[in-house]
């Protein structure tokens, strides 16, 4: 809308996105069920780790002590004092890079694990970011994800599509209607395991969770490349 360009509205939205929204999310996403899901996902993580969408650092307390070093990327630096305290309390080194996930500043095959929790909904070009994940993963590395996305229920999905433009604004870029599994597959990552469930205590409009594990592409011969040459799946992105 044209009114979105009004200086007063821009300042108000800036204050909301910098101060109100991150505090609200930090509170809502620190509940017992969110903590349980984080701990379960991160239990196998070890070695050199990259986290996409660091946010306010709520994952930090759930990483096992086997992590050697954690690198994190996020285009926003949210609640810096609170986050600094969480980083200082971590039992391993943490490096924060303020940048988007579409252009990662790391060399090829750098990480044992890449982690994304409730992040792919906001990345402008999630397929490009996931291709970067495949680039920086070690050959034996894994991409672990826990994301909300498009419901399998047609009625819920219809409402997700309808409300997505509003969610984009109040959720600071969040999309309700992304098919996380298709995004991963379109990026070239190998989807090794994926499950969907409705998260307790979350409205169904945002409660469909995608959780799983993926790996980089296997080296392939010319014949393999020809046999897998097909169009990407349709309908992977949100509006």
What is the residue whose two structure tokens read 């090829």?
A: 108
What domain count does the chain have? 1
Residue 235 has a pLDDT of 37
- Full domain range(s) for residue 170: 11-227
235 domain-assigned: no
Residue 4 has a pLDDT of 54
Q: How many CA atoms lie within 13 A of 163 on its CB side?
A: 15
CATH number at residue 84: 3.40.50.150
Strand 47-52 and strand 67-73: the pairing is: parallel
94 bridge partner residues: 70
Q: Rounded to two decimals, what is the model's pTM?
A: 0.86
Residues in the chain where the model's pLDDT stays below 50: 1-3, 221-239
135 domain-assigned: yes
Residue-wise pLDDT tens digits, 17-38: 888 999 999 999 999 999 999 9
Residue 226 has a pLDDT of 32
25 domain-assigned: yes
What is the residue whose two structure tokens read 């509940």?
A: 31
75 domain-assigned: yes
The 10 Å Cβ neighbour count of residue 75 is: 15
Residue 102 dihedral angles phi and psi, to the nearest 5°: -70, -20
92 domain-assigned: yes
Contacts of 210 (CB under 8 A, 6+ apart): 145, 146, 147, 148, 149, 180, 181, 194, 195, 196
Residue-wise pLDDT tens digits, 114-159: 999 999 999 999 999 999 999 999 999 999 999 999 999 999 999 9
Residue 227 has a pLDDT of 34
**Residue 109 CA: distances (Å) to CA of 65, 103, 200, 223:** 22, 15, 37, 25
Residue 5 has a pLDDT of 64
54 domain-assigned: yes
Strand 190-198 and strand 137-148: the pairing is: unpaired
1 domain-assigned: no
142 domain-assigned: yes
């Amino acid at each position: 809308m044209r009114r979105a360009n009004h200086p007063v509205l821009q300042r108000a939205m800036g204050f909301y996105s910098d101060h109100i929204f991150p505090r609200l999310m930090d509170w809502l996403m620190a509940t017992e069920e969110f903590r349980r899901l984080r701990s379960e996902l991160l239990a196998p993580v070890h070695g050199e780790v990259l986290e996409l969408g660091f946010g306010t650092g709520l994952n930090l307390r759930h990483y096992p002590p086997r992590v050697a070093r954690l690198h994190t990327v996020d285009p926003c630096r949210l609640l810096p004092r609170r986050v600094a305290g969480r980083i200082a309390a971590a039992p391993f080194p943490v490096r924060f890079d303020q940048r988007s996930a579409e252009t990662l500043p790391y060399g090829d095959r750098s990480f044992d694990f890449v982690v994304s929790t409730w992040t792919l909904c906001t990345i402008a070009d999630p397929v490009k970011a996931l291709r970067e994940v495949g680039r920086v993963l070690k050959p034996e590395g894994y991409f672990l994800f826990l994301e909300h996305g498009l419901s399998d229920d047609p009625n819920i999905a219809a409402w997700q599509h309808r409300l997505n433009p509003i969610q984009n604004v109040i959720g600071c870029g969040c999309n309700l209607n992304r098919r996380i599994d298709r995004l991963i597959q379109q990026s070239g990552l190998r989807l090794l395991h994926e499950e969907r469930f409705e998260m307790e205590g979350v409205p169904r409009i945002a409660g469909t969770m995608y959780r799983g594990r993926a790996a980089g592409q296997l080296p392939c011969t010319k014949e393999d490349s020809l046999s897998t040459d097909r169009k990407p799946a349709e309908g992977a992105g949100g509006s």
